[in-house]
Amino acid sequence: MLRKKGSLYAVALMGGFVGGALATQCIPAIAMAAHHARTVEAERFVLVDRDGNKRATFLVTSRGMSDLALYDGQGRDRAELRVANNGGASLGFFAEDGSQRVIVGEMPSGRSGVAIYGANGKQLVNLTTTTDNQASLTLYDPNTGRARAGLGVASVGSPALVLFDEAGKDRAELHVTKNGKPGLALADENGKTIAGLPEQATTTAPDAQ
């Protein structure tokens, strides 16, 4: 019986020891959790991988722009999220050589759009909307960077297609007015209209008797 009590006492003593050990380990953690910092303030944050290579930065530039930049494994800037001091915001994606490839942005005026660039750095596509609900899609010459075609819808709902020559001059237009009437206009290199539809109504002379 004494032996049994001794065993129980040993178990109780061991339980107290384990409990005390756990309490000793847990209390500081609980205390730290209760008093952990909820706000961290700094001018610049740098995120590195396990080898110490920079993979991301978060900072406010000297011009007041907040900037989040993400880098690939070779340290090249491949994506950036920016908000300017005036409220303009943009999200950009970049090629290995640092040239921009896709930019999504919104201006303080409310104008927003998406721009896509080619491998040579020249803009190829631009999709834009305005605060009065106009929308336009512009395609550019990959060699000169000049606009070659534009498709747009006015705020009243009228669509139009415009084609430009290699000098960027308007040479052909196809449109449909608000009341549903279509039109086509062709122009020369000086901008002078040379043909168009619908044709102007003409009067014919009566047949000679």
Q: Is the pLDDT of residue 67 over 70?
A: yes
Mean pLDDT of 43-48: 94
Q: Which residues contact 107 (CB under 8 A, 6 or more apart)?
A: 88
pLDDT by residue (tens digit) across 51-66? Answer: 999 999 999 999 999 9
132 has a pLDDT exceeding 80: yes
Question: Could you tell me if 32 and 60 lie in one domain?
Answer: no
Look at residue 146 and tell me if it is in a domain.
yes
Residue with tokens 């002379």, as numbered in its chain: 205
pLDDT surpassing 90 at residue 15: no
DSSP letter for each residue of 161-200: EEEE-TTS-EEEEEEE-TTS-EEEEEE-TTS-EEEEESPP
Domain annotation covers residue 204:
no
Rounded to an integer, the average pLDDT of 203-208 is 38
Higher pLDDT, 190 or 21: 190
Shared domain check, 30 and 4: yes
Q: Tell me what the pLDDT averaged over the chain comes to.
A: 83
- Same domain membership, residue 143 and residue 82: yes
Judge whether residue 205 has pLDDT over 50.
no
Q: Is residue 206 part of a domain?
A: no
136-155 pLDDT tens trace: 999 999 999 999 999 999 99
Beta bridge partners of 126: 115, 138
Digit-coded pLDDT (tens) for 90-103: 999 999 999 999 99
State both tokens at 76.
């090249």
Same domain for 51 and 25: no
What is the domain count for the chain?
A: 2
Alpha-carbon distance of 96 to 73, in angstroms, equals: 11
Residues in CB range of 120: below 8 A, 6 or more apart: 142
* Distance in angstroms (rounded) separating the CA atoms of residues 158 and 156: 6
Going by pLDDT thresholds of 50, 70 and 90, the confidence category of residue 28 is: low
Q: Looking at the domain assignment, is residue 133 inside a domain?
A: yes
pLDDT at residue 39 in the model: 86
Residue range(s) defining the domain that contains residue 16: 1-36
